A and B are shown apart, each in its own frame.
Chain A
Amino acid sequence: MSERFFISETDLRGLTADLLDGGTEVIAPVATDICQSPSAVAATACTLDGSKVEIDYRQLTSADDLDLSRGLPQLSLKEFFLPEHEPLCRWRQKGTTVQVFEVPTEFAPRVVLAAKPCDAAALAVVDKVMNWDYEDELWNGRRAATTVINLACQVIDDSCFCTAVGAAPDDVKGADGLLTPVEGGYVYEPATDKGRALVEDFAARFSADVPADTIGGQADDERAAARARVADNLEIDADSVRDWIEANFEDPLLTHLAMRCNGCGACTGVCPTCHCFDIVDEQEGVGHGTRRRLWDTCQAPTFTLHASGHNPRDTQHVRYRQRINHKFSIYPLRFGEVLCTGCGRCTRVCHAGQDLVEILEAIDIAARRPRDAEPAEAAS
Chain B
Amino acid sequence: MNSQHSDTFEPRITAFVCNWCTYTGADLAGTSRLHMASNVRIIRLPCTGRIDPLFIVKAFERGADGVIVSGCHPADCHYTSGNYHARRRFAVFHDIMQFLGVDPRRMTFSWVSASEGAKWKDVVNETVANIRELGPYEAYRALAPDAVEPWPEAVDGLTPAGDQEPAAKEVAS
A and B touch in the complex (CB under 8 A): yes
Interface presence of A166 (CB below 8 A): no
Instruction: Report yes or no: B170 in contact with A102, Cβ–Cβ below 8 A.
Output: no
| 8 nearest A-B pairs in the assembled complex, by CB-CB distance | A286-B166, A101-B152, A92-B160, A93-B167, A95-B170, A287-B167, A101-B160, A99-B155
B164 within 8 A of A: yes
Q: Interface SS of chain B: helix, strand, loop or mixed?
A: loop
> Does A96 lie within 8 Å of B152, measured CB to CB?
no
Beta-carbon contact of A288 and B161 below 8 Å:
yes
Interface check B138, CB cutoff 8 A: no
Task: Let me know if B62 and A285 touch, CB within 8 A.
Answer: yes
Interface residues of B (CB under 8 A from A): 62-63, 145-146, 149, 151-153, 155-156, 158, 160-168, 170-171
Whether B152 contacts A94 by the Cβ 8 Å rule is no
The total of Cβ contacts below 8 Å across the A-B interface reads 50
Q: Which residue of A lies closest to B146 (CB)?
A: A284
Q: Which residues does chain B contribute within 8 Å of A288, judged by CB atoms?
A: 160-162
Q: For the complex, give the distance between the alpha carbons of A290 and B163 in Å.
A: 16
Nearest residue, chain A, Cβ from B149: A87
Q: Produce 1/0 per residue, A261-303, CB < 8 A to B.
A: 0000000000000000000001011111010100000000000
Q: List 22 A-B contacts (CB under 8 A).
A: A90-B151, A90-B152, A90-B160, A92-B158, A92-B160, A94-B158, A94-B167, A95-B170, A99-B160, A101-B151, A101-B152, A102-B152, A104-B152, A284-B146, A285-B63, A285-B166, A286-B166, A286-B168, A287-B163, A288-B160, A288-B162, A290-B145
Interface residue A103 (Cβ < 8 Å from any Cβ of B):
yes
Interface residues of A (CB under 8 A from B): 85, 87, 90, 92-96, 99, 101-104, 282, 284-288, 290, 292
Give, as a whole number of angstroms, the nearest-CB distance from B171 to chain A: 6
Query: Are A99 and B156 interface neighbours, CB within 8 A?
Result: yes
Please, how many angstroms separate the alpha-carbon atoms of A286 and B62 in the complex? Answer: 10
CA distance A215 to B162 in the complex (A): 62
For the complex, give the distance between the alpha carbons of A90 and B152 in Å: 8
Task: Name the residue on A nearest B169 (C-beta).
Answer: A286
Contact B170 A101 (CB under 8 A): no
Name the CB-closest residue of A to B155: A99
Residue ID in chain B nearest A95 by CB atoms: B170
The reply to whether B171 and A96 form a contact with Cβ atoms under 8 Å apart is: yes
Q: How far is the CA of A285 from the CA of B163 in the complex (A)?
A: 11
Q: Which residue of B lies closest to A90 (CB)?
A: B160
CB neighbours of A104 from chain B (8 A): 152
Q: How far is the CA of A46 from the CA of B42 in the complex (A)?
A: 46
Chain A residues with CB below 8 A from B156, complex form: 99
Tell me, rounded to whole Å, the shortest Cβ–Cβ distance linking A275 to chain B: 21
Residue in B160, B163, B165, B168 whose Cβ sees the most chain A Cβ within 10 Å = B160
The smallest beta-carbon distance between B20 and chain A, in angstroms, is: 28
Residue contact A284 to B62, C-beta cutoff 8 Å? yes
Docked CA distance A101–B166 (Å): 19
Are B170 and A94 neighbours in the complex by a CB distance under 8 Å?
yes
| Given contact pairs A85-B145, A99-B158, A285-B63, a sample of 18 additional A-B residue pairs in the complex whose CB atoms are under 8 Å apart | A87-B145, A90-B151, A90-B160, A92-B160, A93-B167, A94-B167, A94-B170, A95-B167, A95-B170, A101-B155, A101-B160, A102-B152, A104-B152, A284-B146, A285-B62, A286-B166, A286-B168, A288-B162
